[in-house]
Amino acid sequence: MGKRYLMKKVLIVFLAALLTGWIGKTALTVPEESSKLGAVKVDTDIRIDGDAIEIAWEKATEYEISLGSIKVGLKAVYTVMDLFILASWNDPTFSIVRGGSWVWDKNAWNNKREGQSEDRIAFFWPIDIPTFESKGCLVKCHPGYGGSGAFLDTPEQSGDMWHMKAARSLGVISQSQSGSPVIGDDHQATAGTFTLIGYTDDEHVTYEDPANLPDDGGTHGDSGTSTYSHNRNQTKTAPLYMEKNPTDYLDAMILKKGEIEKGETVEVMSATAEEISKYWGSYQRLGAVVPERILREPSDSRADIRQAGTWSNGRWTVEMKRALETGNDDDIQFSYLSLDYLFGLSIMDNAGGEAHTFSEVNILHFLPVPIETEDPNCVMICHPGEPHP
């Protein structure tokens, strides 16, 4: 009975793929189970807090991706409604400075933080890219256009980008630090524990005519507002706001719209040089800079992915949560759990997109759930939410 069931299941999956147009969008011929990121069915949601202490994570087998000297460990679980991904990797510095961050230097503002950026991890999911199985992330890389050359080749192609930006999206909801933080002269942390709770920046990749470059090439934010706006005046010569009395390094480095509304900041344009110097003293003592972005709650499709991340003494641990089906055209939909979904992974260590390290093609596989039957010699398997014999 088990063999007949499996043959019947394969036929059902193939017919479903033909009817829904998935042939050519997602690979059906895939490697062995051990070479896939296997998502395990669990009954309860995971708390997205950057701790990864839930028992549910213990049920999943870690899948490792090598990105040069960086080894990224991934785990995945899912419920009837949502997909959860856990990622961890070594990183000697906690980086959220970014090149446009502000320093008060002898009665003048300076935002030339050369070589500074933020830590990032990005997942790239092909929605309709037939060549992704053979090319992976290279389908969107066009080096001749520099950092802007991340676009696809034809108007029919599209992809979904889940982009963690440590300085611009990860601390929207809350941030905290503990341990014994050590902050270097470059304003990066080399020790301590820092937890940020917020969102993954949900983006999509499309075709872009090279004549329209530079800008961001074919990478666009999903519909809705992003998690950040610029903290700079119209002439780009000074920040709009700085905190009056930040409590610690992370509080100083993360400026939120809510802090401005609560009166915890000063409007730089209306402050005197003496007042700015006074407030800047707190930043100096903490080893911080005035951030180049103001964080805010995102909206619509841009807010699809909740995320929390903890950097602790040289290692990142991040948790992500997204609905299996969002209903948005700019997102990949995990509608058929019996299919496998290709993805690429990249890491940016205190770097912009042009300096990322990316993986080969990987596969997310939703592990089926054993189903008891009346026949003690027969064990059926199925994916919740999908028809089975």
Local mean pLDDT, 10-residue blocks, the chain (389 residues) = 35 33 36 77 96 95 93 97 98 96 93 90 92 76 61 85 96 97 97 98 84 64 96 97 97 98 97 96 97 98 98 98 96 96 92 68 90 54 50
Residue-level pLDDT at 107: 86
Task: Write down the pTM of the prediction.
Answer: 0.85
* Identity of residue 178: S
Residue-level pLDDT at 151: 75
For the chain, list the domains and their CATH numbers: 36-369 (2.60.40.1190)
Place of tokens 């014994």: 180
Buried b (16+ CB within 10 A) or exposed e, 154-183: eeebbbbbbbbbbbbbbbbbebebeeebeb
Residue-level pLDDT at 31: 44
Pairing of strands 379-382, 369-372: antiparallel
Residue-level pLDDT at 33: 53
Residue-level pLDDT at 270: 96
| Residue 270 three-state SS | helix
**DSSP secondary structure string, 330-383?**
TS-----TTSEEEEEEEEESS--GGG-EE---EEEEE--EEEE-SSTT-EEEE-
